[in-house]
Amino acid sequence: MAPITSRFCGVLLVLGLVTSPSYATNASAASGRPSLRQHTTKSLRHRSLHRRSRRAPPGGVWARNAVLIDSETGEVLFEKDASRAVPIASLSKLMTVLVFLEQNPDMDRLAEVTRAELNGAGRTQLRNHERVSLRDLLHMALMCSDNVATRVLVRESSLAPDEFLARMNQRAAEMGLAGTRFVEFTGLDERNVSTAADCAHLLRTAATNPVIQDVMTTRTYEFRSASRPHVIANTNRLLFGRYEVRGGKTGFIVEAGYCLATWIHSQGRDLIAVVLGAPTPATRFADVVRLVQRTSTSTPSVPTTN
């Protein structure tokens, strides 16, 4: 019988009639393409590297700065460069709403959104000339970090903008937040800086306010402005997981990375975790879960629900 030609054998191989590994290797070498064995080895190596990349680095978290404290005793259970002042993005809004609520506003009063608040504020559901209650704006500011809503709240307070900002920095000084400074109200400016330790203290103070705590622990919120309905979801994914969350705030700008400050009740213990400068949105939540697991025998998974 005449030998099977390389070309004909290639056709049989495609049809599944020739399965010889040696032929596959030789044919691949002749064609310059990687063999099946080489492709499998490369795929396995890639998967191994991917698995290693998901492991926490030395120090326990991916975030550049982090702290975990016992909110009752103040004991520091973990820290990573926790005293370094860095941009904190929308975690700034915790102080903004604290100062806003100090003015005892009428939360049912309607405020009109203007072009001044919309300019450069990023994504928002709000529209020019839309009239929204202060209560609904507060939910938007804390739950989904709406910068337009935050700017309207400041405008509608009893303080002029420069006075409001001065009060934010004064409150930081009164709270002993030596590494914290604000230059505007939303966190869009990278010069709004704080430390992980300061942010933990700030969250603890904010969460003791029942109005702020109620908003921060709301998963989804529906309301109607003077003209149309709205639905917003909380950006703190841990609210949708297994933990009992008593407060929290997310934040992001490029200079700050992904940030999260959250208060969790776990295994009979109240813990406040702050991570600043995480590389991805999901990493900040995974970092917090990892920190909390250090003090607990349970191992809940990171929720994926938004």
pLDDT recorded at residue 35: 53
Q: Characterize 256-266 residue by residue with b for buried, 16 or more Cβ atoms within 10 angstroms of its Cβ, and e for exposed.
A: bbbbbbbbbeb
Span of 15-29, 78-92, 245-259, 279-293 with lowest mean pLDDT? 15-29
Annotated active-site residue 145? The verdict is yes
Average pLDDT (218-239) is: 97
Q: What is the number of other CB atoms lying within 10 angstroms of the CB of residue 132?
A: 25
Distance CA 94, CA 219 (A): 17
Which among 144, 180, 149, 145 has a CA at the least distance from the CA of 165?
180
CA 27 to chain centre: 50
Span of 127-131, 151-155, 266-270 with lowest mean pLDDT? 266-270
Architecture of domain 65-293: 3-Layer(aba) Sandwich (3.40)
Percent of the chain with pLDDT over 90: 75
Query: Per-residue pLDDT for 194 more than 50?
Result: yes
* Catalytic-role residue among 90, 157, 225, 266: 90
- The angle that helices 21-31 and 36-54 make with each other, rounded to 10 degrees, is 90
Distance CA 97, CA 236 (A): 17
The CA angle 279-283-287, to the nearest 5 degrees, is: 120
Distance CA 198, CA 172 (A): 9
The CA angle 293-297-301, to the nearest 5 degrees, is: 50
**Residue linked to tokens 């492709």:** 39
Annotated active-site residue 90? The verdict is yes
Question: Domain-by-domain residue ranges, the chain?
Answer: 65-293
Average pLDDT (234-258) is: 96
Q: What is the mean pLDDT of the chain?
A: 85
Structure token digits, residue 224: 């109607």
Which residue type is seen at 160? A
**Residue linked to tokens 């969790």:** 264
Distance CA 186, CA 88 (A): 10
Question: Which of the four pLDDT bands, split at 50, 70 and 90, describes residue 286?
Answer: very high
Q: Is 80 annotated as a binding residue?
A: no
For 90-112, how does the pLDDT look when each residue is reduced to its tens digit (9 = 90+)?
Answer: 999 999 999 999 999 999 999 99
Contact indicator for 155, 142 with CB cutoff of 8 Å:
no
Annotated active-site residue 93? The verdict is yes
Residues 6+ apart with CB under 8 A from 281: 252, 258
pLDDT recorded at residue 55: 67
pLDDT recorded at residue 294: 81
Top pLDDT among 34 and 287 is at: 287
For 173-191, how does the pLDDT look when each residue is reduced to its tens digit (9 = 90+)?
Answer: 999 999 999 999 999 999 9
For 10-54, how does the pLDDT look when each residue is reduced to its tens digit (9 = 90+)?
Answer: 433 333 433 443 433 444 444 455 554 554 555 555 454 344 445
Q: For residue 46, what are the β-bridge partners?
A: none
pLDDT recorded at residue 274: 98
Secondary structure of the chain in HEC code, one letter for each residue: CCCCCHHHHHHHHHHCCCCCHHHHHHHHHHHCCCCHHHHHHHHHHHHHHHHHHHCCCCCCCCCCEEEEEECCCCCEEEEECCCCCEECHHHHHHHHHHHHHHCCCCCCCEEECCHHHHCCCCCCCCCCCCEEEHHHHHHHHHHCCCHHHHHHHHHCCCCCHHHHHHHHHHHHHHCCCCCCECCCCCCCCCCCEECHHHHHHHHHHHHCCHHHHHHHCCCEEEEECCCCEEEEECCCHHHHCCCEEEEEEEEEECCCEEEEEEEEEECCEEEEEEEEEECCHHHHHHHHHHHHHCCCCCCCCCCCCC
Query: Per-residue pLDDT for 296 more than 90?
Result: no
